[in-house]
Structure 1
């Protein structure tokens, strides 16, 4: 008996061509980069104290607190916003300090905080540290 020759069956690798998929990914990436809008946020600069070391001559800090009712306190005493600079100048005449600590309550009006910061602008040699007050 004669053997029949069977044709060789060549198995191809069943693969997926990833090139079109990569093209689509790059096109989407370019689309999102081009359509993204970058917005520059305006803000204000708050100076932080450079050193946490205590100085040899201990000085008192000025504490300004704004409560949830938008009442301003200067070293635990209520004060009107118009009289705040005068109180600070009087305090600076008697004490040697370079720090103002501003602590608004978390429910304080933002405009009230901005108003206080505007009043503190004239004291540019003092360092203003700001921290949120949470009861």
Structure 2
């Protein structure tokens, strides 16, 4: 009897069922996809300049774009340089947020400085330029 018992124990192969592990992995994947917060873009396509020191955008920020044609855009609408100050003042009254300028690389520096001045006059303490890594 003894050899028969040893033979039966050796012949039984134990396998680990991976189905519960796959279920947990897919549930975690779905959780991270759903809870990811995306940064809201301005809706205007600009060719951003490259910078080696580019950093991630903050989730809560005021995004203003300046197109190659010189249009100053906020929330998909052309607000012009003079529209920057009232919009930033209104948004900063609710919550303090940094201002991020998405400027086309072909925009003249004079126009960029004008928009930055308007943002500063509106009370913005943090004005950043959006760039891309090379």
TM-score (norm 2): 0.48
Which structure's residues are more often helix, by fraction? 2
- Structure with the bigger RCO (C-alpha within 8 Å, sep 6+) is 2
Whichever of the two has the greater Rg, that structure is: 1
TM-score (norm 1): 0.48
